[in-house]
Amino acid sequence: MQKFQGVDYMNVDSLLSEEELLVRNTVREFVDDNVIPIIEKHARAGTFPMDLVAKMADLGLFGSTLPAKYGCAEMNNVAYGLVMQELERGDSGVRSFASVQSSLVMFPIFAYGSEKQKDYWLPRLAKGEAIGCFGLTEPDFGSNPGGMITRAEETSDGYVLNGAKMWITNGTLADVAVVWAKLGGVVRGFLVEKGMKGFSAPEMKGKHSLRASVTSELILQDVHIPKENILPNGEGLKLPLSCLSQARYGIAWGAIGAAMACYDSALNYAKTRIQFDKPIASFQLTQEKLVHMLNEITKAQLLCLQLGRLKDSGKVRFQQISFAKRNNVYHALQIAREARSILGANGILDEYPVMRHAANLESVITYEGTHEMHTLIVGEDITGIPAFV
Amino acid sequence: MKIVVCVNHVPDTETKIKIGADSKSIDKTGVNFMLSPYDELAVEEGLRLKEKFGGDVTVLSLGGDAHKETLRKALAMGVEKATLLKDEAVRDSFGIAKGLAEELKTMSPDIILFGKQSIDFDDAQVGTMVAELLGISSVSVVVKLTIDNGKVICEREIEGGHETVETSLPCVIQAQRGLNEPRYPSLKGIMSAKTKPIQEKPAAAGELRVESIALRKPEAKAAGRIVGTDKSAVPELVRLLHEEAKVI
């Protein structure tokens, strides 16, 4: 198979700096060498490729925008986005692992944690010596996290947590869970550590999507946690939502990677698959599909690049992140489906990456804010009228 | 140990090359360039020598401004210093070797590493010429390098086997695939490469002894032919292989 050459119809690369390109190309090569050769096997078995954790850590893929003093690369957000794009070109599950570790665990500890928490956890999480997860969603509270049932009560020497979380990426693998719970009616963040009495994280089985990723429940039954495990700097639902903004930003980029993999696979297939004595790429219907895919990928690239530049200049608004996540994941899913149709029956085989990406994107369009919720967030932003409360 | 690695900036191996309008150079539009893969092995070996013996690694390249991209990649992999000997003009292998050798004389390194060839023109001459110009020994196609008390033991790949040779420092070593597995530049390395300066100076004059006068792409492969689909086709296939293809 020919090495992936990137998809860049409008020379968007010319808008990237030398470092951004080197970061992108390095992770691209890493994914070609380390993710693509093994990922179908893991997707088939329903296992996360644990070997990748140390390799991703060596490369510096965890918390890569955080300061160098924690062992992080201190890159800008565009470079971070390009990392997410390339990881998801491999698999959404691998990108999810890095997203959660970086945006949902290291970010809240960095932004809301104590110096002691930062000094202890961030270097370990950056090195992949510790794995983290993020517990916000509950069985009955998804799009409406403010209704969460999980409660914390203050005791003489700390807190007691009770409740349950669901759909938690990396839950079973995690050494530390950033758990959001109500303390006196106010949402607070807590660091719940593996092995604490009353805390368990059983894996959820039977997924048809994100098969190469671990998804878990978190069960908290009278879990005593010490005083120093509360995130001290901030309270309220805006804290977990700020983490989601970080993660959604990465997902908007990641979706481009999945779309690129599908487009690349469909284009190569269309040029070599012969029907009626000619390549199917010579049929107008196929060309229309390919052009449409390329068109949407290119728009998504420009959208993300501008989003990243806004984020790097500190001017991004969360509604703009919703706008990009909504658009890019939606189109990536359409592209995956269209690519599958070009590959015909072969499209359903795991010899090609298309069906795996299509199935993954069915999760991606729902997690980290559903397509519908992002529509309503942007809808409220432009009309001034909230449609979901 | 003072280590210098000489590197070249070459078209990506996946690039589809088009010949330029002058018929003797390639059309560079839309072509991605990269650190030549054998030179990447040389950079990795340089870093491993530094990790083992201490000292520092400098990368050296002769060429235009575009070579900085390749130097930056070596810096991102962990090299400390980079020097670009600037010359936008076309040089032959001897011209490049001469420019590099003049600079190397001022640096007096303990060891100079090259890739066994750069994958653009595949001349495989520059390393050996540099050694000759400096009056030091050179070992090419090296797949294993061991240095002990100034004694240099190299395993070379030769047709159908390996040869082990011994020489001494200073020397030129030319890397072959198998010598090591180059590291990826880490994201931290990439970010810190920004802060490492690339020293630029004009390249010492070369002289053009060999001039490229024409480039040509290989003939397109002819379509395959199906002689038959069962055993009755065997005699005809044998005849064609014997008389036409002349392989049996």
Q: Given this model, what pLDDT does residue B246 score?
A: 86
Boundaries of domain holding B159: 2-202
Instruction: Give the model confidence (pLDDT) of A191-204 as tens digits.
Output: 999 999 999 999 99
Three-state DSSP class for residue B199: strand
Q: Which residue of B has its CA nearest to A24?
A: B187
State mean pLDDT over A375-383.
Answer: 97
Contact predicate A77/A102, CB 8 Å = no
Q: Given an 8 Å threshold on Cβ–Cβ distance, is B187 in contact with A30?
A: no
> What local confidence, expressed as pLDDT, does residue B219 receive?
86
The parts of chain B modelled with pLDDT lower than 70 are none
Residue A256 has pLDDT above 80, yes or no: yes
**What pLDDT, on a 0 to 100 scale, did the predictor assign at position A217?**
97
Q: A226 has which bridge partners?
A: A158
User: A274: helix, coil or strand?
Assistant: strand
Q: What mean pLDDT comes out for the span A224-246? A: 96
pTM: 0.91
Q: Is the pLDDT of residue A1 over 70?
A: no
Asked if the Cβ–Cβ distance from A22 to B72 is below 8 Å, we say yes
pLDDT tens per residue, range A308-334: 999 999 999 999 999 999 999 999 999
Residue B13 domain-assigned?
A: yes
Q: What is the mean pLDDT of chain A?
A: 97
Q: What is the pLDDT of residues A80-114, one digit of tens each?
A: 999 999 999 999 999 999 999 999 999 999 999 99
Report all structural domains of chain A as residue ranges with CATH numbers, in order of start. 12-126 (1.10.540.10), 132-229 (2.40.110.10), 238-383 (1.20.140.10)
Residue A84: list chain B partners with CB under 8 A: none
The active-site residue, picked from A40, A88, A138, A368, is A368
Nearest CA in chain B to A34: B184
**pLDDT over 90 percentage in chain A:** 98
Read off the DSSP letter of residue A146: G
- Note whether B190 contacts A: Cβ–Cβ < 8 A: yes
Backbone angles phi, psi at B62, to 5 degrees: -115, 125
Active site residue A368: yes
pLDDT greater than 80 at residue A389:
no
CATH assignment of the domain containing B115: 3.40.50.620
- The C-alpha R_g of chain A, in whole angstroms, comes to 21
Q: Do A75 and B76 touch (CB under 8 A)?
A: no
| Whole-number Å distance between alpha carbons of A158 and A175 | 20
Count of domains in chain B?
A: 1
* pLDDT tens digits for range A110-156: 999 999 999 999 999 999 999 999 999 999 999 999 999 999 999 99
Express each pLDDT in B147-187 by its tens digit: 998 899 999 999 999 999 999 999 999 999 999 999 999 99
- Of chain A, the end-to-end C-alpha distance in Å amounts to 51
